[in-house]
Amino acid sequence: MSTICAISTPGGVGGIAVVRISGPEAIDIADRLWLGKSLKQCDSHTAHLGWITDSNGEKLDQGVATIFRGPRSFTGEDTVEFSIHGSLYIQRELLNALLANGCRMAEAGEFTRRAFTSGQIDLAEAEAVADVIASTSRASHRLAVSQMKGDFSQRIEHLRESLLDLASLLELELDFSDQEVEFASRERLMQIAIAVKDTVNTLAGTFHRGQAFRTGIPTAIVGATNVGKSTLLNRLLHDDRAIVSDIHGTTRDTIEDTTEIGGVIFRFIDTAGLRDTSDTIEAMGINRSIQRIRNASIIILVADSTRPETLSEAWHRIEDTLSDRNNASQPYPTLLLLWNKTDINNNQPAITTEESSEIPENKTNSNGKQSQNRYNSDEIEQRIKDFCKINGMELHHAHYSAKTGEGCDIEDVLMKCAATDMLNNSDIIVTNARHYQSLINALDSISRVIDGLNTNIPPEFVAQDLRQTLTSLGEITGTISTPQILSSIFSRFCIGK
């Protein structure tokens, strides 16, 4: 095994840079460049101040050498980390000196790959290292740390262990098939298979939400023209990001930006107003809006409380779009029905079905004009409720003024729509696409096991499906892996990690 080195801090000039060395000769090579207490005599997990020399033996920089003796190190090997000043010249010369003394440059992710190879971490934990580095919010960091601690891996290994004993007994039966003996209780196998299926199905069901927490929750702001979508975007971003105008069809393309609310990144997409139009450019914008609706995790359906008909104008397009999705495996988004412009003329917001019988037919506002706010929402709102119920969509209602900020606590409502309470409990949330695919494969094979037990198919077919389940689960933690999979995973790491 060669000794590798790399800069482990970001490129560029900084106050401090860290150069990591790992391998069988790490301490010897580092000691050749060190002026101070011999690193060979230093205990593990100790730090020492001294001078570092270049390849010519001249003093290069005063720094700190930290010693980690294997196997009590990240890689499981002897490791030295030089903390030096962040000068690009010093970093370059130190690397040159290490290479001249027998090191080679580390490949992308090679330190973490060595940690996996030496058994310090499993594959899922190794991938979590990259996720921790890439985390940009409290939510994504929490999910990555949970996986790095091994919570997900422990759940997977528990599933595998529950199947391994019965799988071995079933394989033993095949060796004695001519004697018609039964070692594995079919009743017990069925109980375990059903329990495994339920757990795998639950884990797989968290993926789309987990991925949204990790990369930012795609939130489409949709509705008819001139209902206040752009004003709402600006309010949520605390910035004049979108042009606001009384002219219908002002927004002709999608406008996207992100903001953090309660430790969660939301990716807001302001869309073109949904309406029939002969304008080619506006029609292109509406088509893009429809695509954003298909891919959203949250849809904010904005309706003008002074023009209740704007709800029906937009909903039929949204309903058609959600009913004609290409990705049937993706869960339906959460729908937030937001009645906007509740500040105008001090009118009450648009009424709900429950309130409709309590409002007089004609109501006069403070200006003596008949209110246009009354809206019997029986038909359209019931249609929305029925659609959400049939398709398992969460539905939330809120009244708000995007112009003034009056009304509901919009950030609190969005947190509820995002189901951020998932982050505050101990349940596992899957965020990695590779893990999700392995879970889907395991779900498919364990379902065949259950079907086979129900139909009394020959045990060799049950055993084959059971082996496939174990293989799919083992691929997650790296118990079963291939060089191609490992190369693909670790190639995405940064050099120095």
Which residues contribute to the annotated binding site for Mg(2+)? 230, 251
Cβ atoms of 126 and 410 within 8 Å: the answer is no
Binding residues for GTP: 226-231, 245-251, 270-273
Cβ atoms of 478 and 124 within 8 Å: the answer is yes
Cβ atoms of 8 and 22 within 8 Å: the answer is no
Tell me how far apart the alpha carbons of residues 163 and 24 are, in angstroms, rounded to a whole number.
39
Tell me how far apart the alpha carbons of residues 185 and 247 are, in angstroms, rounded to a whole number.
72
Cβ atoms of 101 and 29 within 8 Å: the answer is yes
Tell me how far apart the alpha carbons of residues 242 and 254 are, in angstroms, rounded to a whole number.
10
Q: Which residue has the tokens 């058994």?
A: 119
Three-class DSSP category at 57: coil
Tell me how far apart the alpha carbons of residues 352 and 317 are, in angstroms, rounded to a whole number.
21
Q: Say how many residues make up the chain.
A: 497
Cβ atoms of 278 and 202 within 8 Å: the answer is no
Secondary structure E strands in 127-166: none
Binding residues for K(+): 226, 245, 247, 250
Cβ atoms of 290 and 299 within 8 Å: the answer is no
Closest CA to 210 of 33, 449, 431: 431
Cβ atoms of 257 and 296 within 8 Å: the answer is no
Tell me how far apart the alpha carbons of residues 164 and 186 are, in angstroms, rounded to a whole number.
14
Closest CA to 230 of 215, 216, 218, 247: 247
Cβ atoms of 437 and 473 within 8 Å: the answer is no
